[in-house]
Amino acid sequence: MRPEYDVIVIGGGPSGSTCSTLLAQRGRKVLLLEREVFPRFHIGESLTLFAPEAFRRLGVYEELAAMNYVQKRGLEFVLPGKSKKIYFAERCKHETHSQTWTFQMPRARLDAVLLKNAEASGVIVRQQHAVQRVLFEGQRAVGVSFIDLRRGVPAQPESVYARWLVDCSGQSSVINRQLKNNCFNDRLLDDKIAVFAHWTGDFEIVNGETELNFKLCVHPNRRDWFWWFPIDRHLVSIGIVIDRHSIQNRHCSLEDLFMRRVAETPFINDFFANPSLRRTENFRSVKDFSYRSRHYYGDGWVLAGDSAGFLDPIFSTGLQICFNTSFKMVDVLDRSLDDGIAVDAHAWQEYESTVDRLYRINSTLVYKFYQCGIDFEEMERGWSLLSGTTWISPILLLRFLYHGAQLILRPRSVIRSWARDVLFGNVQPGNKVADLFLVLADNYEKLCSRKLASPAPRQHFVDLEI
């Protein structure tokens, strides 16, 4: 059947709106299908320092700046008996004209702006259109089957066709539900559960040069941790990440466990002592949220954003990886559409390598951070990367020491800049700190090869009962 569109994008979140906007701006005929009605609730409100650059590229910076209240200027690690503040300004003091803060607002607002921008750029946006499955002719993706939820239940499935499909449907990736074992839980970070909500009360968030507006509060067991950050003048996002050991040894609901951890965690217990504090919606939860895909593209289809993978939110890198992968993917897809080539193997393999590299580096970074007891100062010493690591071969150890020696010869300002890019998911070619983590990733993958050979397939996300 003759395709009606150049590209169909599944999902209207940040990845879907970014991809569709950039493609439409290049003259492509794009259809975006989104199940929900925007604005809608979504977790993941905290951004990295590199997000404003993405917003400028998309042409929405000024609009977001006008509606944003909270300025995130870094993050503070709060542990029992000590704390460590990391200022964005310190990490980029050698860079002129660099913005030293980023936005922090409800995702409902942010995502709505990005989707509206896509439509203004020429994208045909259809909300309340739920994609049921991707249609294939042989191995090639040619279209989608969807239901128009506005027509009520039962609604008859409809089909639409395009030259390429971009799956940005998020953690419940449509394509990964159809492909056998293409998506799996991360081998290092597959034992976590997050429970979260928004809270309001008689308090007021202020901005200032010393106000970081982000706290990562570590429980005394040094495994579980809370995020706390404001997203408006009188609204904060609070959630806890709990490991499997804590879950297996509980004798209460997740909500009760949440409140018990509140009473035991520095800063969080003081904040909840405010009698005016109240939740603005029900608790939500998600389990085993760290995952990635074996393949990020195929004949006529490609994964981007959370459909491709997601990592532990400890460094707020989710949206940054989403933007980076989306920008990269659009360049390759636009060339493929120009050339009329079903799959430009070299360009798409480069895209897959870039995406996989980002996930491998950040997965290893987060894993080592947990090994350090969620102590940034311990992690920053560097030797923690070597200590506690079982090396599967002397060759990998020598590679690690070689890359470490390369860092010793570099100016400290350069090393800090590389480390900052790794920390916030914005790794560029030539980053020597990233090379160090890739060696660690190679080592862990070989150590976990038996587990990695048959990882637990990830068919869908199921929210836990609170």
Residue with tokens 């569109």: 5
The domains located in the chain, with CATH, are 192-287 (3.30.9.100), 359-453 (no CATH)
Higher pLDDT, 343 or 177: 177
How far apart CA 240 and CA 246 sit, in angstroms, is: 12
Rounded distance, CA 90 to CA 109, Å? Answer: 29
pLDDT at 310: 86
Binned at pLDDT 50, 70 and 90, residue 119 comes out as very high
Q: Between the ranges 60-69, 358-367, 371-380, where is the mean pLDDT highest?
A: 60-69
With cut-offs at 50, 70 and 90, classify the pLDDT of residue 188.
Answer: confident
* HEC-encoded secondary structure of 360-402: HHHHHHHHHHHHCCCCHHHHHCCHHHCCCCCCCCHHHHHHHHH
- Render pLDDT for 123-176 as a digit per residue (tens, 0 to 9): 999 999 999 999 999 999 999 999 999 988 777 899 999 999 999 998 889 999
Residue 350 in tokens: 């480069």
pLDDT at 96: 55
Q: Please say if the pLDDT value at position 465 is more than 50.
A: no
Indicate the range of 87-91, 305-309, 400-404 predicted with least confidence.
87-91
Q: In whole numbers, what is the pLDDT of the chain averaged over residues?
A: 88
Q: At residue 232, what are phi and psi to the nearest 5 degrees?
A: -165, 180
* pLDDT attached to residue 343: 59
For the beta carbon of residue 371, count every other beta carbon within 10 angstroms: 17
**How far, in Å, CA of 395 to CA of 413, rounded?**
30
Triad 322, 39, 99: Cα angle to 5°? 45
What pLDDT score was predicted for residue 302? 96
Residues 53-60 have a mean pLDDT of: 95
pLDDT one-digit tens code per residue, 423-459: 877 788 889 999 999 999 999 888 877 555 555 555 4
So what's the pLDDT on residue 459?
A: 46
The whole-number average pLDDT for the span 198-225 is 94
Closest CA to 185 of 370, 461, 381, 433: 461
pLDDT for 98: 72
Pick the closest to residue 33 from 1, 61, 5, 63 (CA basis): 5
Is the dihedral angle over the CA atoms 433, 362, 176, 174 positive or is it negative? negative
- Is residue 70's pLDDT more than 50? yes
**Of 91 and 96, more confident:** 91
Is the peptide bond between 455 and the residue preceding it cis, with omega within 30 degrees of 0?
Answer: no
| pLDDT number for residue 368 | 87
pLDDT at res. 93: 61
Measured CA distances, 180 to 45, 148, 165, 448 (Å): 32, 27, 18, 21
320 Ramachandran zone, left/alpha/beta (phi>0; psi -120 to 50):
alpha
pLDDT digits (tens, 9 = 90+) for 1-12: 678 999 999 999
Instruction: Supply the pTM of this predicted model.
Output: 0.91
- For residue 34, pLDDT over 70 is answered with yes
**pLDDT for the residue 110:** 97
| Percent share of the chain, pLDDT over 70 | 92
